[in-house]
Each structure stands twice: as structure tokens, then as C-alpha cells.
Structure 1
Amino acid sequence: MKPYSIALLLSCFPVALSPCARAAGEVPPQPPQEAGAPRPGNVQAVLNGDLQACLDFAKSPDSSKIIYRWLIESTIPKETLEQLGKNGFLSRFAGDQEWMEGFFNSGPVPNIGLALEKLAALYRRDPKIASHPLYRKLATATALEYARQSDKEMNNPKKKKDFHPSWTDERMFQTYDYYRTSHAKGLLNPVFDTLDYWDMRILTGRGPGDWTSPESLTWLRDNVRLPAQQYVGACWQAPYRLHNEFGESIHSGASYYAPFDGMFKGGRAEMTREVGAVCGGLSTYGATAAIANGVPALTMGEPGHCAYTVRPDKEWVPAYSLSWKRGCHWNFYGEKWSLLIATQNTFSDKAARDLSGKLVVLGDAARKAGHKDRAGELYRAALEVQPINFAHWQQYLDWCSREGGLGRNQWQEVSRQIVNAYGKDYPEIAWMLLSGKVYPVLIPLLETPQEKEAEIRNFHQSLDRMKPANWDFPGALAKQMDYLGGDEAAAGTMMKVLMDEHMKSQDYVAPSLVWCSELTAAYPSLKDQFYKSVASAGSDIGDKVLEQLASSIIMQAEKTGDIQSFQAAGSLLKDRFHPKLPRFDPFPGELLSSGGMLIPNSVHERYGPPWQHWGVLEACGGFFHTNNKEDATEVKVILPRMGELSGIVVVSRKSHVERGDGTVVEVSEDGSDWKEVGTIEKMQQVQRIDLGGKNVRAKYVRLKCNRKDYFHLDGILVYGRRLA
């Protein structure tokens, strides 16, 4: 294509689309000029003038036609334009502002020429799409998705020599014809009539495969007809079966379904309902059933599991979901659940979406013309119109990195803009942009530890709730600590930031405290700072969070033998331990177990919350509960100091006392050589083991129950006198 100036390209569109279009016999419609709207001939002056002129131009009624015609002309080769001009397609498309806005502002269009070629092919197949709003959206969405995926397929560096494309025009026609015909017959869910361009892309972007064959889609359409809200349970129409009728495991591959090939007219969908599947097949069945009926849905990967989600109305509803760690299998910008929700909200605001899109294209025009500063202004203006448009943020940050020439203060302003846009409602996306594009440049520009701390603190101050779902907050904290230097000083800074910013947070206090408690295992010198911070936070934290924190610290301490952390965690909830043990006569001397540590060989957290372990060794009493998976159960007590023992009191709960029958009591000075000092043949609620006058010296006490069963006690109280 011969080089045109931006001004010439923009100014020529009201007269003709291009020399190529004229050669093809088209006569593009001429957009009317309304009062106050910049004339096309003034576009170059607008780009060279002030920002307000650009904004006024973008807001003018017919600016979309001019802007997107320029984009077509400046992007597509002459030969392609000539082909698109045949049969009147390009004239109809370029003359319809709503159609162009839907095409360019419904998601990524990585290859505009290819997408228009596919749309032109659908137009030739069904010229009515130009005058039927719903079928126009359907055809556009189908062309965009087949072009996007075909372009990705053809440019895959791992493509083999004998590669055969799957996103073919033949399959594209099948996809369009299925929805076009089904709708014309009144066979789709009413939700289909409400879908916009982007929504249609969710349906048509599912792509070729056994599940989306005409046979499977038709069968699902006719046999899984449900109200839109009920597709979240459609997966359970198919039985969960690991092995088929012949004993073949589904993990063996094709042999699971091989005996049934050709038996079902409804293709893979009917076969799944009759033969069975596990989570992947069931979730695919549920999602494809919704898609076949015109309801947006998609499958999602979770750790060791496949789930799906359905959008029956304006919100996405997870289905058969076991975890917040979801990776959406169909996506524009990434697999994160938060990106799906943000994308939904971005494209649902049509006015903001279209204006923001036009400003970005104008920014591209300025960029290509060498107007670097004007390009940055236009990108920023686009983000002011629609602050959560992820694609536009990526484009702006790309400009910042490559051409913006930003200094420290400017990068800090970009950081603030991101947290203001995303921190409250989409914190995961804020972190994705900051860690991926901003911090790698900004952090090295900050000269002092205090400046770096302020930058990290700014991110945390923007956080409100875990929205739209949980996210990998601990992973973000670890990366932030690396940005601060990754050493003990950085750990202390991170702890201070988290304790300052999140102690009153409903969602972030628990993961912040748990992460800090785990940090003290790597940096023991920070323990005092941590425990003092928790103690000073006090009632701001809340009972449930304190229980979670104390349980986490105690579990970690029991694994490492860290008495200091065990005691510190117990003291966090000391006021929660009220006397619960029955009356008994203690043995002479001090309560040597007080201040010590309890280490069960297993913990059943549901029946015995770990935070209660602390009280087992104190006069008040507590509780521990093992699971029953071990062949033998034991619990070890580490005394805070060596002692000469006068006796041990073992207190069980009233229920299931018999689970302690046959318990052997042992002691040790070094934790290696053990000596038996008693056997409890038949456990009583209070069991006294008298060691007076037996010269029993110990630092460790162990109770062993040599059978596979639960083991639980309220108290293990060790008495005597300290030896050191």
C-alpha cells in the first residue's frame, strides 16, 4: 500500500474509502457533519493541536466512521482491500458506525485484515447480516474469534510441518449456521437475544472439536433445555464414572470411549451422558449445554480439577467449582478469574468502551506520526474514560516502556493510577500490571529503602476486599519483599507495612498475619516485633482471625520444635482459656509443663483446633485431637526446663475415654533415649501417675497409644521441681 499521511487518510474518507474501494465499484456513504464536530480535513490539525480538540473530535457523532476507516486503510494491504470491496461488503461495513464499533471494541483484533476477510465470507453467505442487528453481532463475533484463533494457530512457533488448521472457514460457517438457524426456529434460550458483540464471542470462541460438532450442539440444544440459571447444575445430568462398563479407566485415554464410537447420534455430548465421565467431562458437558442454548459459559482449570462457569444474566456464576484458583480456558487477556469479571464490566459499558477505544486508536495514529507526547496524552485520556480497560492499560504501559521516556516521578504517577483504578475492586489485576510492567522499571529508580517502602505501602493502602475472589496474595508479598532487597531488613519492612495497613481489614488481616508468622521462621530475630505488633493490635483483629493465626503459628512451631512461637501463639488467646478440667489432687511441686510445648504426631483440625494445644499443658486445660490414619498415635511434651518429676496427671474428655486405653507413658532427658514410667490399661477421665521418690529426671514426656484410632486429651500436667 502506498504511504499516506495521517491527515490525507482521515480527510479522504467522507469522499471515498480508498482508491481500492473505488476500483471495486463501491460508493461509501458520506457522514453528515454536525455543528461543533471537527471537519475531517482538520484531523491533522487536531492531532497537532491541543488535547481538547482531540477529545472533542472523538466525542463527535460520526467520528467512529472516520477513525476506524483510517485504521482499516492504514492496516490492510491494497490487495486485501480490493477483495473486501467485492459484493458491497466493505461499503456496508464502513458505512455502519455501530457495526464498526462492535467489531473494533469487543475484544482483541490481532489481524484486522483476516477478521474482515472472514466477516466478508459470512456476509457473502448471508447478506442479511448487514440489516439484522442480532445476526450482525453473531457473524462479527464468529469472524473475530475464528480470525483470532486462526492467526494464533498459524503463528504458533511450535507448528509442525504436517500441520492442518482446525479454525477453518468450513467450521466457521458451521458455527454461524448453527446459531443462525437455531435462533430462527426459536430454539435458543431468551438470553441469546440480549447478547452484545463481546458476549457472542464467548459462544463462538469455543471453537472446533467433538463437543462443538453440529451433532453434539444440536443434541444438547434439544435435550438440555433449561432456564439459564439452572445450567450451573447441568453437569450432574452425566454420571461421574472413573471406569466404564468394561473396566477401562478414563485416564487410559481413548479406550474409555472407544467401545461406544458411532453408537450415539448426539455425538460426544450424548455419549458422555450415557457412558459417564469425571470432572473434566462433566464440566464440559455443563458448559457446552449452556453454550448450545445460547447462554455464555466456559470451562475452568482448578488444581487437580476441572470446573466451569455460566453467565445466566449479568454476573458469572461458578459451577462444580472447588477452589478460587481458577484458570478460564477461554480468555482474551489471561486466565485469571478477576480478568474475566473485569472484562465483562469493561465491555458492558458501551459508551465508555467506544469512546475509550477511539481515543486509543487516535493515540496509535499520533504514535505512528511521531507525535510521542500526544500519543501518551490520548492513551491517558482513554484510561480516564474507562480506567479498568485492561487492554488499554497494556497498550499504554507498552508506550511508557518503549517511547514514553518516563522518569521516576512519572512512573510513580502511573503506579498510583493503577492502584486507583484496580486496587479496590480488582487487586489481583493491579498487582499483575504493577509487577509485570511498572515495578521492574520503577523500583530500581528509587534511591532509598524508605522510598521503596512507600511505594509498596501505596499498593497495600489501596486494598479493600478480596475481589472478585481470593487471589495469590502471599505470592505478591514474597515478590514485594524481593523488590525491597529480599533480606532480613526487607522482611522487617514488609512485616511493618502489613501490620500497619491490614490489622483492621476484613479480608487481608488473616493472610497477612499468617505470612508474617511464617516469616519469623526464616528470620527468628523478627519474632519479638511480630508478637508485639499482634498484641498491640488486640481487639482490632477479631477472634476468628486470632484463632486462625494462632493455629497456623502453633502448627508451624510444632513442626520445628519452636517453643517460643508456640507460647507466643498461645498467649494471643490466653483470655479464651477458662478453667475446664475436673477437680483433682495435683502432685507436689511446680507445674513443670506450663510454658512448654505439645507436639502430637498428627492433628485433626476440624475436631481439635490447634490453637487449643497451648492449654493442654496449663492448669486451665485445653484440647488436642489426632486423626486415625496412623498405626500408632503419640503426643510429646517438651518441658521448658529439665525437672525432677513428682507425677503426671492425664485428663481425658468424658466422651470416648476408651480411646486412651493401653497408653504408655515415657520420659526422656534428651528426646532420644526413652524410659517407660507407667501404662494406662484402662483410661479414666483423670489418670494420675505417681513418680514421687523414683528419681525421674526428664525434659521430655511422651504418651503412646499403640493402635490405629483417634487420640485426644484435655490435659497433660507434669509436676515436680526445676533442675535448671
Structure 2
Amino acid sequence: MNISHLLLCTALLAAPVCMAQDLTEPETEAPSAASQLPAPLAQKIAAGDFAGLQTELRSSLLKAGEQTKSEQKLLQDKQYRHLLDIHELLRVTGPDNVKAVFSKSPQDAAFIKAFLQDPAWMELYLGAGLIPENSPEGLQILSDIWKADGRSADFRDYQSLATGLASVFSTGPMAGKLKTNSANSNPVRRYQIFKKLHQENKLHPGFIKLRPWEMRFVVGHTWDDKSYEWSNEHVNLPWRRYTDACWAAPYTGNNFFGDTIQGPLFYVPWRDVNTSAENTQVIGGVCGGLSYFGTMAAQAHGIPAYPVGQPGHCAYAVRVKRGEWKGGFGGPDGGMHNHIFGGQAPTSYLLMENVFADNAKADQAYLWAAQARLDEAAGNKDKAIQAWGEALKQTPLHPFFRTELQRLLMEKEGMQPIDWYVYAKDALSHYKGNGFAAFDALKDVQNKFLMDIPSEDRIAWFRDLHETIATTPTSWAVKFQPVLDSQSAFLTNPQEKAAYLETVLSTHLKTGDGTNFGQALEWAVKTFVENGQADVFSNAFAKVAQQTGEAGASGKAPDPKKLKEAYGKAIYATEMARSIPAFQTLSKAAASFSDADTSANTVNAAIPQGWKLVPADGMVRCSTTCQWDSPWDHINLLRPCGGSQHTDKEANPNVIVELKNGVNLAGLVVTKRNGNEDRMKKMEVSTSTDGATWFPLAATENMPKEWVITAPEGTKAKWIKVEAKNAQPEFMHLRHILVYEK
């Protein structure tokens, strides 16, 4: 050990260590805003010798670790923590890249010196989620912001803002688009805009408390910087109403000159005159433009938001508080345009909110991650594994950390299938409410043990995983099929497949909102029914049906009442899953429960000449169900014989018909069921070609028993919505929604 090493280690070990009562959860001091570095290290920084600095740091940190066996104690030491931060920064950025920033100008060199003396700021940077993926560019952005404002007395208050800008402009799904529009989107300018708006009290009160990972969802819009200023001044709503901000702009597909939104000329006449936000507010747009407008309106007031892609549609989401996102224009679910872990909402934002829920634990986890990488770089994989384990004690669901731990465990070898099984069971126990994240994290691990454990244990593992998934908020946007496909590949015989199907259906029938159950049914129809194994599906479903009430006696025929109830739940679940194939299959299977004579015609109204009835090969989706509903009769709403549906009490109950294919709409016949017909008076009918953007077709203040609606020439539709507009919550029950095409 040379003298500088001795001096450094002495300085490290002389610092007081705060002992915790429970060493598994040590009390951790917050990082210092500034910390004095040992002279040898400060000299290397001043000389721009960052490769030498990295070597010196690694050697010194490892020596300190040898002398103080407890890494937990070391991470409580302020100076050790500071040096570990610098080591991790050099690792993710690269010594040459740090030197490139340092050598750019005296001002950039001053930034690097200031940054390396500020462990609190470094930890904001290193813990911002995606920063390590492109640290060289992120570091340069921070330097540019610091050069513009770093010597201000209040700069520390805005370090999180600066770091969030460095994150979103350098790394992740928005970075490329922001770089493409760099003439109008500049991180320094955005920093100045947001600082000014905050000082003028024009932002949400919680803005200044946002961490860098949260700032990504405020400062990362791909529109021009001036749109933030314009939106802050011109689009002002109560904090929780920014989910409606999109409607401050008109929905239109053509501009004043007749140019279509689908073409390149829609905004061209005003492109260099106004901001993107103002152009959208004045000229309008369709779902994409309006959703980006709503996102900008929220972000311009310091509220996290993101746009989201959906099939044939664009929507957005606004964060109303930590952990809670609300949808605008049909959000928050779908493909997130801005994200950290994965890109599919709600799974992605649920995982993100869980990982970063506790600031102190997240900070501690990232420290342990830095320690793990130091240990691995030193060739000590056992200590690295222990450090990753400590990181995951703080944030058990962090996908990057768990991936690193599992990589090292696999490289280490020696673990037997039973060891992997125990590991997977323990890991799974942390994922309640984040079941899809559990599947993603453990799908490679389960390959290590599934074929080496008994069949009953395989089914038990699948059941545990599905019970975790069943606790997870989900939606139509979260695709369940990959889970089912992956697991079914491990099933070795028909009996095991039947047991698996029964386990899946039973678990999701009992838990959740029906979406997973509906998708499981769709998968089962495709996997079994359409492949000549309808008996496997029917038998499994019959067993599940027996579980909907009191347990039936083993071996007896299914109780018709329970089977009917199960089919009702199953059909409604297919509606929530928006699966036409599953809806059709189960409706046919449950046809015996309907009293309808499908050959009859119960419509008395005259049908205009030339109207052609659209076949009942689509689906019906009711806004709610209740004890008086008959889901097995929903399909008959599309047939002249008439069917039956019954919502719960709602202010605006509705029934949506989704056709198998879009049509040139001729008209509709909507009729009421017999009895309590006065419940349905003020009614509206609208159409859609994308399932999200609705256009009014007809309205009435007092719906007749049989309502014949003629569509205007040129009306195209794939979805038709019949909706009641009640002053007070009320039921809705219809008999027909007959759709006619030309």
C-alpha cells in the first residue's frame, strides 16, 4: 500500500460511524451537500487525470473494505459514501468521457470539480433511473445548466430539475425526439423557463419536491420550449382537472384550407408563427394532437404526465399524486411514450412508483448497487451477490437490480433446481400488486427449476404466480397471453394441461375485475377449442363453475345454477377483455341458458328499404353488470329475436356494440325491454371507427319503446354506443341494438 492509500484509508476509517440497532436496516445519514476530498484525489481531479482517479479510488475503497469487514458500516460513513459515488460516476460515464467534459472549457472544468465535491447531487444523478445508459451526454447537459445558473444562491433548490432534464434529454424514449428538435427544445432554456415559473408561483406546489425520475414526466415533452410558457399562461384548470385539458383544443381532421391532419401540410401555414401548443389550440387536431396538448398543459404547470398510444388511438395520463395516474382522452393505459421500466401502462408506472416510493430506501438501494459493481469489478462475485441482495432489500422490485443479481447467480453456478425454486418463491412474495413485473423478472429463473420439480409443484408455482398477477391492477392494454404461452410450454401431458387451465381460470374468476379472466378465456378458446380439444376446455370450465358457490361434490355433474352463474361472469369478462372470439365462443356455449327463440322477430317497427342487418358476429360490452343481468343473452341484442342486458345504477350507463368489421352505417333500431321503461328517457347514440373517439349520431329527450335511427350519408362505424344521460343514477336495460349497413 502506498502513502496516499494509507492516508486515504486512515481518513475513511477515522470518520465516526452511526451504528444502527438492527444491522439489516442501518440508519443511513443523508449525503453531504459538499465534502472535502483527500488531497491526493483532489489533485488528480485538478489535473484532469480521471483514469488515475478511478484506479486510486478503486484501490482505496477496496482497502477500506478489507479493514472494515462490514459493508453496511462503510456505507454509513460519509466520506466512503462520497468516494463510492465518484467511483460509480466514473464507471457509468467512463474516465475519458469525464475528461472530455472537463477539457471542453475552464467553465466545464469548474463544473466537474464542483459536481465531484457534491455527493448529494451525484446521488440524484446516479439514482435517476435511466441516467447510466448515456451518462456522457447527461453529464454535459448538467454542465451546460450549471454554467448558466450554477453560481446562483438558490441553485441547490433546482438541482433535481436540472438532473431530470439531463436524464430525459440524454436517455430513454424521448431523448431521440428531443435531439431531432434541438433547435426548439433546449435543456438549458427549459431549466430557465421552469425556474422562472416556479419563482412566480405558477407551478403546482409539489413541483419543487419532485425527484429527477419524476421530473422526466414534466420536462420531457417533445414540443418546443415556448409551448411550456404559452400553455402555462393560457391553459389553466383546477389541479385535478388536467385530464380534461385536451378539450381546450378542437377535434378536427382538416385545417382551414382543407388539408388533412394525416398529411404533411396541416400545420405548415402556422408552423413558424406560433408554438405547437397554440397551433393545436387554434387549429385543432385529432386524438394524437389533443393528447399531446393535454400532456403539455399538465406538464407546463409542474404536473407529471405522459402521452400513451392505443390501438388506433392516442390518449394521455396525468399524475394526481404519488402512485396514482388518471387518464385523459381514454388513458392512462397503453404504450407509454415516456417511461423508465418497460413501456406498457399500467404495469410500467405501477412498477416505477413501487421502486421509487420511498426516497431514502431508493437512495440506499442505489448505494448498494454501486457497492455491488465495485465488488464485481474487484473480482469478488460473492460480495457482489450479497450487495445486490442488500439493494433488493431496500427496493425488492427494482428490475435492473434483480437482473444483475440473477446474472451473477447464474454465472456463479452451483445452484440446484431446488435452490432456484426457493429463490423464486422468496422473490415472488414481494410482488403483490405487481404480478406482471414478477413474471418478467422471474421468467428466466423458472427455466432453472420447472422441469426438475414434480408436476404438482409446477402447478403450485403457476398458481402462486397467478395469484400474484390477480392482485395486480390491469386492463385490456396488458397482454396476458405471453404469460400463458410461456407457462404452458412446460406442461408435459393432457392431464397437466387440464390442471393448469383449471388453476388459471379458477384464480382469475375469483379475483380482479374480470379482465385477466377474459383474456385467459380467449387464450383457452384459441389453444384448446380451436385445436380440437374443446372437451378439455369444457371440463376445466365446468370444474371452475362448481367453485362459484359452495363446493360441489366431486365427480357429480355441474350444478346448472352455478354453471349459469360462471358463464355469466365469463361472458362479461370477455367483454371487459374486448375479445370477440371468446365472447362468441362462450355465448354459443351458454345459448341453452337463454329463453330467446333466435328464429323469431320481435321488432314491430318498419325497417327502411335497402337496410341490411349486420350479422351478430361482433360483441356487446355493457358498462356494468348486476344481479338482474343476463350476459348469456347479450349477443341476442344484435338479433331480431331480442336479448337482455341490465346495467347497475349509473349516471350514464351505456352499451357498446363492437362489430367484427367496420361498415357503411345505414341505421339502427334500439328497443327497450318490457317493464320499467321510463328508466330510459334521455338517450344518446354515437359512433366510432377507433373505439375511443366518438361522434354523435342521435339524441332524444324521451326515448320511444322502439327507436329507429337513420344514419347520415357516409357514416362509417365499427363501434356504436347507446348511452343514458340521467340526472340521478339509474339502471338501463335494452332488448335490441340492431345494426344495419347499406
**Structure 1 counterpart SS, 2:569:** helix
Task: Determine the C-alpha separation between the residues in 2 that align with 1:150 and 1:612.
Answer: 45
Q: Relative to 1, partners in 2 of residues 1:137 and 1:520: Cα closer, same or farther, differing over 3 Å? A: closer
**Aligned partners of 1:308 and 1:321 also within 8 Å:** yes
Residues 271-280 or 164-173, more deviating: 164-173
Amino acid aligned to 2:38: P
In structure 1, runs of 5+ residues without a counterpart are 27-38, 155-162, 579-598, 634-651, 657-708, 713-724
Match of 1:282 among 285, 290, 306: 290
* Partner residue, 1:179: 194
User: Match of 1:384, as an amino acid?
Assistant: K
Q: Which segment drifts farther, 223-232 or 488-497?
A: 488-497
**Candidates 535, 545, 549, aligned match of 2:570:** 549
TM-superposed CA distance for 1:112, in Å, is: 3.1
Change (3 A) 1:411 1:212: farther
Query: SS at 1:244's partner residue?
Result: coil
CA distance in 1, matches of 2:440, 2:126: 25
Partner of 1:454: 460
* Range moving further from structure 2, 267-276 or 545-554: 545-554
Question: Is 1:246 paired with 2:264?
Answer: no
Counterpart Cα distance in 1 of 2:359 and 2:461: 34
CA deviation profile, 1:616-645 (whole Å, cap 9, x unmatched): 9xxxx9947999989999xxxxxxxxxxxx
Is the 2:292–2:316 contact (alpha carbons within 8 Å) kept by the matching residues of 1?
A: yes
Shift of 1:352: 0.3
Could you tell me how far apart the structure 2 residues matched to 1:343 and 1:81 are? 33
Percent identical among aligned pairs is 22
Residue deviations 1:576-610 (CA, integer Å, cap 9, x gap) = x89xxxxxxxxxxxxxxxxxxxx985577469955
After superposing the two structures, state which structure 1 stretch, 317-326 or 144-153, moved more: 144-153
Aligned match of 2:404: 395
Per the TM alignment, residue 451 of structure 1 is displaced from its structure 2 partner at its CA by: 4.4
Letter in 1 for 2:480: F
Mapping 1:676-691, distance limit 5 Å: none
Q: Using the TM superposition, give the Cα deviation of residue 303 of structure 1 relative to its aligned residue in structure 2, in angstroms.
A: 1.4
Give the counterpart of 1:112 among 120, 135, 141: 135
How does 1:294-443 map onto structure 2 within 5 Å? Answer: 294-322=302-330, 325-337=333-345, 338-403=347-412, 406-422=415-431, 424-435=432-443, 437-443=444-450
- Report whether the alignment pairs 1:494 with 2:468: no
Classify the secondary structure of the residue corresponding to 2:203. Answer: coil
1:46 and 1:53 in contact (8 A); partners too: no
Among 478, 483, 487, the residue aligned to 2:490: 483
- Provide closer, same or farther for how the CA distance between residues 551 and 242 of structure 1 changes in structure 2, counting only shifts above 3 A: same
Corresponding residue for residue 21 of structure 1: 45
CA–CA distance in 2 between the matches of 1:711 and 1:90? 70
Distance 2:543 2:47 in 1: 77
SS across alignment from 2:402? helix
8 Å CA contact retained: 1:21, 1:82: no
Give 2:89's aligned amino acid. Answer: I
Match of 2:267 in 1: 257
Name the TM-score, length of structure 1 as normaliser: 0.68
1:665-684 residue pairs with structure 2 within 5 A?
Answer: none
Partner of 2:112: 90
- 2:72 aligned to which of 32, 48, 55: 55
Once the two structures are superposed, the pairs formed by residues 213-232 of structure 1 within 5 Å of their partners are: 213-214=225-226, 216-232=227-243
1:612 aligned residue? 633
| Coordinate RMSD, CA, aligned | 4.6
Alpha-carbon distance in 2 for matches of 1:259, 1:297: 29
Cα deviation for residue 404 of structure 1 reads 5.5
Amino acid at match of 1:77: P
CA displacement at 1:363 relative to structure 2: 0.6
* Residue in structure 2 matching 1:103, options 125, 128, 134: 125
Inter-partner Cα distance in structure 1 for 2:737 and 2:59: 85
Paired residues of 1:419 and 1:459 also in contact (CA < 8 A)? yes
The one of 166, 187, 190 aligned to 1:143: 166
Q: Read off the aligned partner of 2:225 and give its amino acid letter.
A: S
| Matches of 1:416 and 1:22, distance apart in 2 | 51
Residue 526 of structure 1 corresponds to which residue in structure 2? Answer: 536
Write out aligned runs for 1:591-610 (5 A): 601=616, 605=620
Paired amino acid for 1:205: G
| Structure 2 residues without counterparts, runs of 5 or longer | 13-36, 51-56, 551-561, 597-613, 623-628, 646-656, 668-672, 678-735
Determine if contact 1:234/1:285 at 8 Å carries over to the other structure: yes
Tell me the amino acid that sits aligned with residue 212 of structure 1: D
Distance (whole Å) between structure 2 residues aligned to residue 293 and residue 403 of structure 1: 50
Residue 473 of structure 1 and its aligned partner are, at CA, apart by: 2.6
**In terms of mean alpha carbon deviation, does 76-85 or 62-71 score higher?**
76-85
The answer on whether the counterparts of 1:123 and 1:129 sit within 8 Å (CA) in structure 2 is no
Q: How does 1:144-223 map to 2 (within 5 A)?
A: 144-148=167-171, 166=181, 171-207=186-222, 211-214=223-226, 216-223=227-234
CA distance in 2, matches of 1:393, 1:145: 24
1:645-697 deviation line (CA, Å, top 9, x unaligned):
xxxxxxx97999xxxxxxxxxxxxxxxxxxxxxxxxxxxxxxxxxxxxxxxxx
Cα deviation for residue 278 of structure 1 reads 0.4
Aligned match for 1:77, one of 62, 70, 95:
95
CA deviation map 1:17-50 (0-9, x unaligned): 3543132699xxxxxxxxxxxx999843565589
CA–CA separation in structure 2 for the residues paired with 1:557 and 1:371: 53
TM-score (structure 2 length as normaliser): 0.67
Report the CA distance between 1:553 and its aligned residue. 9.6
Q: Specify the alignment match of 1:665 in structure 2.
A: none
The alpha carbon displacement at 1:403 in A equals 4.7
Inter-partner Cα distance in structure 1 for 2:312 and 2:201: 39
2:590 to 561, 564, 569: 569
Matched residue, 2:83: 66
What is the aligned counterpart of 2:301 among 293, 299, 305?
293
Determine which structure has more spread, i.e. the larger CA radius of gyration. Answer: 1
- Looking at structure 1, the residues matched to 664 and 162 of structure 2 have their Cα atoms a distance apart, in angstroms, of 62
Q: For 2:102, give the aligned amino acid.
A: L
For residues 292 and 559 of structure 1, the distance between their equivalents in structure 2, rounded to whole angstroms, comes to: 46
Shift of 1:570: 5.5
- Assess if the C-alpha contact under 8 Å between 2:243 and 2:318 holds in 1: yes
Secondary structure of the corresponding residue to residue 221 of structure 1: helix
Task: State the distance in 1 between where 2:527 and 2:472 align.
Answer: 22
Distance 1:167 1:47, change over 3 A: farther
Tell me which residue corresponds to 1:586: none
The 1:169/1:350 distance shift into structure 2, 3 A limit, reads farther
Are the structure 2 counterparts of residues 480 and 129 from structure 1 closer, same or farther at C-alpha, using a change threshold of 3 Å?
Answer: farther
Q: Does the C-alpha gap of structure 1 residues 501 and 48 become closer, same or farther in structure 2, counting only changes over 3 Å?
A: farther
2:473 to 467, 480, 493: 467
CA distance in 1, matches of 2:10, 2:420: 33
